[in-house]
């Protein structure tokens, strides 16, 4: 069975003014997401700034998420590392907290060969019993999961899905063909939800869902119900705002957008080296939010 179908929010990690984690706001955001149709909470991924969280902070975020979600929707938790042994240790600790799946990004910076990639994911998968979602985002890591490597990994029982953020439709088609239904497919790009659904995808792990949870859920729900026109209309309606949310490095713009929605949603700014938005980009974001029909402060 799939971990989820629909929209999984790649939820931000809210910070206080001193850049400590605002756990009260994290709880509020989780409730906002679930109450507005989000089908899965994805915690401590790229959007959640896992790269600047200590292991202790990351595990506490996951613990709070498990507690607050209280089994209302599944939880997928980031546990990736470019050090296989660290990835194994973090995966074991994360799995023990009661999550429904682990998100594992390809090793970054030191990268590796496709052989090393297979060995890395195989070792991690064999260390835990929970389902694993591979995360292919070469723009971040400099490393692409080849369709051949994905097919090999798809034979491992608890490697169950791939979050595809390569943006390369031809590559994704080849992966889907080679895996022969053994890996569930989720879009990792908000501007490609509908295209990946057409390739058999089950949904999206989404950034824009932080501010438009119901609408992101609806793109998938409409498609699954056979309303392709309605799904397309929603995807296209969000296009300008999606572009604005990626005019600077994620999650800089999505945190700015949450702040513009008011104190109920404000999650602070990112930890360095992330910073606040350039004024021109912030004005673009404001314009696209207003064009979409959102109220901002």
Calculate the alpha carbon distances from 276 to 21, 31, 207, 209 in Å: 17, 26, 17, 21
Q: Kindly list the distances between the CA atom of residue 172 and the CA atoms of 7, 129, 184, in Å, as whole numbers in the listed order.
A: 19, 27, 12
How far apart (Å, rounded) are the C-alpha atoms in residues 206 and 184? Answer: 16
Whether 163 sits among the annotated catalytic residues: the reply is yes
135 is known as an active-site residue: yes
How far is CA 217 from its chain centroid?
14
- Our CA dihedral for 242, 244, 246, 251, rounded to 10 degrees, sits at -100
For 164, list phi and psi in degrees, rounded to 5: -100, 110
DSSP 199: T
Q: Distance between CA atoms of 256 and 247, rounded to whole angstroms?
A: 12
Eight-class DSSP state of 163: E
Residues paired with 22 in a beta bridge: none
Q: How far apart are CA 3 and CA 148, in angstroms?
A: 23
Q: Report the 10 Å Cβ neighbour count for 112.
A: 15
DSSP 8-state symbol, 263: T
Distance CA 93, CA 31 (A): 25
How many C-beta neighbours within 10 Å does residue 221 have?
20
The residue annotated as part of the active site, out of 71, 135, 225, 264, is: 135
| Measured distance CA(146)–CA(114) in Å, rounded | 7
Residue with tokens 């023990």: 96
- Of 93, 115, 163, 286, catalytic: 163
- Catalytic positions, written as ranges: 135, 163
């Amino acid at each position: 069975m799939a971990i989820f179908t629909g929209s999984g929010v790649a939820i931000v990690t809210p910070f206080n003014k001193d850049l400590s984690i605002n756990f009260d706001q994290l709880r509020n955001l989780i409730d906002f997401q679930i109450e507005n149709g989000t089908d899965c909470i994805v915690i401590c991924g790229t959007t959640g700034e896992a790269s600047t969280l200590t292991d202790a902070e990351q595990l506490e975020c996951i613990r709070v998420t498990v507690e607050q979600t209280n089994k209302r929707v599944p939880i997928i938790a980031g546990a990736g590392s470019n050090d296989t042994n660290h990835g194994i240790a973090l995966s074991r600790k994360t799995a023990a907290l009661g999550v429904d799946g682990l998100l594992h990004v390809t090793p970054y910076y030191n990268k590796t060969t496709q052989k090393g990639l297979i060995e890395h994911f195989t070792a991690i998968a064999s260390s835990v019993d929970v389902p694993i979602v591979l995360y292919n985002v070469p723009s971040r890591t400099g490393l692409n999961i080849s369709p051949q490597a994905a097919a090999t990994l798809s034979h491992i029982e608890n490697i169950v899905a791939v979050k595809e953020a390569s943006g390369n439709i031809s590559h994704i088609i080849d992966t889907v063909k080679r895996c022969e239904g053994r890996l569930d497919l989720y879009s990792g790009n908000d501007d490609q939800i509908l295209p990946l659904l057409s390739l058999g995808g089950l949904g999206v792990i989404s950034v824009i869902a932080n501010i438009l949870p119901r609408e992101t859920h609806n793109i998938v729900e409409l498609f699954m119900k056979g309303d392709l026109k309605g799904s397309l209309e929603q995807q296209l309606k969000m296009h300008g705002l999606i572009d604005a949310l990626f005019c600077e490095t994620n999650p800089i713009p999505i945190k700015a957008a949450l702040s513009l929605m008011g104190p109920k949603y404000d999650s602070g700014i990112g930890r360095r080296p992330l910073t606040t938005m350039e004024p021109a980009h912030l004005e673009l974001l404001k314009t696209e939010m207003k064009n979409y029909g959102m109220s901002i402060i």
